[in-house]
């Protein structure tokens, strides 16, 4: 399932602290890049009078971007990287792919290597359907495990370059710079929706 913005209103903040609206009439595969990356998420939410419960996370694998959104409004976007197989949808443990679909956050916790970890509910029901279908079609070995423990996290200390250089280094998780995961972490909650697509 793809996340569409039709029409899409992006709020960009000016140095005066006021905002302007920019109207996009294409979906998220448009040519825009980082949105409001120079502004704190806290400031943006205050300015828009949004609560964290209004938000969801949308991830575009082809754009290497994570978006914090409210309905069709992009509040802020962040650069990200993925599993070492960044193209395919995750079908089994060890394939290095980042799963695609709609997920829910099941837990969040500090992580000793990657700053913070936002754990989502892969595998969910649709993940199991895709996994079984891939086995039936011979796309993966019949004894394959589906995997788990997939989430959104930071990078090892001093490794922000992996994000800047789009180095897909994880086993299937979404990875951000530590300052970015630290910022997002304050505004996520158990049950929050995460949508990931190509």
Q: What is the pLDDT of residues 123-180, one digit of tens each?
A: 999 999 999 999 999 999 999 999 999 999 999 999 999 999 999 999 999 999 999 9
Return the exposure string of 103-114: e unless at least 16 CB atoms fall within 10 Å of the residue's CB, then b: bebeebeeeeeb
Please pick, among 19, 43, 111, 153, the residue that the annotation labels catalytic: 153
Element (H, E) at 102: strand 101-111
Domains of the chain: 8-197 (2.40.440.10)
- The question of whether 173 is a catalytic residue gets the answer yes
- Tell me, what's the pLDDT at 31? 53
**pLDDT-derived band at 29, boundaries 50, 70, 90:** very low
**pLDDT-derived band at 17, boundaries 50, 70, 90:** very low
- The question of whether 153 is a catalytic residue gets the answer yes
Q: What is the pLDDT of residues 35-93, one digit of tens each?
A: 999 999 999 999 999 999 999 999 999 999 999 999 989 999 999 999 999 999 999 99
- Tell me, what's the pLDDT at 148? 94
Q: Return d(Cα 114, Cα 38) in angstroms, integer.
A: 22
């Amino acid at each position: 399932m793809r996340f569409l913005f039709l029409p899409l209103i992006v709020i960009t903040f000016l140095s005066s602290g006021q905002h302007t609206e920019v109207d996009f009439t294409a979906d998220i595969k448009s040519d825009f890049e980082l949105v409001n990356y120079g502004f704190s998420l806290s400031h943006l939410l205050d300015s828009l009078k949004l609560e964290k419960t209004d938000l969801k996370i949308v991830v575009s694998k082809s754009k290497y971007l994570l978006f914090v959104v409210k309905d069709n409004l992009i509040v802020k976007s962040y650069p990200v990287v993925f599993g070492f197989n960044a193209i395919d949808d995750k079908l089994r443990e060890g394939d290095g792919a980042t799963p695609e679909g709609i997920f829910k956050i099941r837990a969040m916790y500090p992580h000793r290597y990657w700053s913070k970890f936002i754990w989502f509910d892969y595998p969910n029901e649709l993940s199991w359907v895709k996994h079984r279908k891939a086995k039936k079609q011979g796309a993966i070995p019949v004894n394959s495990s589906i995997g788990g423990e997939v989430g959104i996290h930071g990078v090892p200390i001093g490794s922000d370059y992996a994000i800047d250089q789009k180095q897909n280094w994880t086993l299937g998780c979404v990875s951000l710079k530590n300052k970015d995961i630290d910022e997002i972490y304050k505004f996520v909650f158990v049950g929050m929706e995460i949508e990931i697509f190509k």
